[in-house]
Amino acid sequence: MLGDYFFLALRSLRKRKLRSWLTMLGIFIGIAAVVSLIGLSEGMRAAILTQFTDLGTDKLIVQAEGVTLGPPGSGVSEKLDEDDLDAIKRISGINVAAGRLIRVAKAEYRDDASYTYIASVPQDESRKVVIDTFNLGTEKGRFLKKEDTHKVVLGYNFGYEEVFERNVRVGDKIEIEGAAFEVVGILKKTGSFAVDGAMLINEKPMKEVLEIGDEIDLIAVQVISEKDIDRIVNDIEKALRKTRDVEEGKEDFTVETPEDTIESLNSIISIVQVVIVGIAAISLLVGGIGIMNTMYTSVLERTKEIGIMKAIGARNRSIFSLFLVESGMLGMAGGGIGIVLGFIFAKMVEIAGRYALGVDLLRAHFSLWLIIGALAFSFLVGTVAGTLPAIQASRLKPVDALRYRK
């Protein structure tokens, strides 16, 4: 019996092809938006989580807390300092603790100036950890040596993306806050603006040029065993409360674990997805109204047909089911088209991102539950929108239906 309903509903939709396509328009636009944007956001989530995993789950980031518009930790009133770093180094279970400086400075190349990120490279035993963590390999030239003073390594963008009017080459001279530096290397592309758009110089010359005292913008900590992370976090907090003379609950610093970062990332992406679904719901609402309007029109056009069906024994339930299945099929068909369009759109964005960034950071991810959920929701929209017209059709009296004239 249900198969007959689907067959009759399909035949009715095929008779009204143009109207059916126009009715489905709102549905497949909404579903396409949901599928493509959620697919892209899930792909981005997976890519970023993979990057965090590659960086290692044995690392902590310590920063001074406060409102800042610049790089992390650089604009707060009470910055970290060498005393804080020394206190952290004395904690058991820590393999390496590295202080980092990240500042914005004026750089000039051939009379062209730009304000860009300048990041320090440690010159002690923590140097290798920083290089390995951020995978700082060179595309051209070499990396900084410990003894280098007025040497600089540039992110990929400076050599290939025309940050200045002309791309910078190995061996060129660049002025940073008026001091001349020789470019000894160009980094490989990482896909991260924090690396690709930064200049790296050794810590001591950076402090001299930018006139930085014992300030530290952030401290990267590598633990010996991941099992001890919770204990080490507590020990760091106790040590810094002592060196910075703050009470518990009034800390002016943060200790961020990989889990904290991932949790924050998941929260942000989830909020974005909710907004996406909310915006797409407007299109789905319009699509539902379109289905309702189409089904009301269909009831009017087929009033005599309904009368004949009732005259030969069709029950109200059968008429109701027929129109409900038809509206549901409209919604599901629109959802199916929307899924295909969403997949195509997401893949186009993925390919465009690959060419623009040069890395496979942006990849769309379509889970089976996303596909099933999109189809089920589009069917639900169709059936809900068709409920009132189906009720109207089922309540028509055979005599009145047979007498009806258009």
Cα dihedral 228, 234, 237, 241 sign = negative
Tell me: pLDDT of 123 over 70.
yes
**pLDDT interval class at 289 (50, 70, 90):** confident
Q: Which of 344, 342, 323, 324 is nearest to 334 (CA)?
A: 342
Instruction: Please tell me what DSSP assigns to residue 145.
Output: P
What is residue 176's predicted lDDT score, i.e. its pLDDT? 92
Measure the CA–CA gap between 24 and 338, rounded to whole angstroms: 9
What is residue 301's predicted lDDT score, i.e. its pLDDT? 66
Q: What is the three-class DSSP state of 139?
A: strand
Chain mean pLDDT for the chain: 79
Is there a contact between 104 and 115 (Cβ–Cβ < 8 Å)? Answer: yes
**pLDDT interval class at 15 (50, 70, 90):** low
pLDDT tens per residue, range 208-230: 998 888 888 888 888 888 788 88
Tell me: pLDDT of 359 over 60.
no
What is residue 399's predicted lDDT score, i.e. its pLDDT? 61
- Start-to-end CA span in the chain (Å): 30
Measure the CA–CA gap between 57 and 259, rounded to whole angstroms: 8
More confident residue, 338 or 70: 338
pLDDT tens per residue, range 98-122: 888 888 899 999 888 888 889 998 8
More confident residue, 71 or 179: 179
Say which residues have a Cβ less than 8 Å from residue 221's Cβ, sequence separation at least 6.
Answer: 59, 60, 61, 62, 88, 94, 96, 97, 98, 232, 236
What is residue 45's predicted lDDT score, i.e. its pLDDT? 74
Is there a contact between 284 and 26 (Cβ–Cβ < 8 Å)? Answer: yes
CA angle 173, 179, 180 (to 5 degrees): 20
Which of 9-18, 251-260, 371-380 reaches the highest mean pLDDT?
371-380
Measure the CA–CA gap between 158 and 148, rounded to whole angstroms: 20
CA distances from 58 to 129, 148, 333, 351 (A): 12, 30, 49, 33
Scan for tokens 């981005």, then name that residue.
44
Q: In the numeric block, which tokens belong to residue 8?
A: 């009759």
The whole-model pTM stands at 0.60
Is there a contact between 371 and 335 (Cβ–Cβ < 8 Å)? Answer: no
DSSP 216-250: ESEEEEEES-GGGHHHHHHHHHHHHHHHHT--TT-
Tell me: pLDDT of 174 over 90.
yes
Of 65-74, 217-226, 258-267, 314-323, give the lowest mean pLDDT range: 65-74
10 Å Cβ neighbour count for 189?
Answer: 18
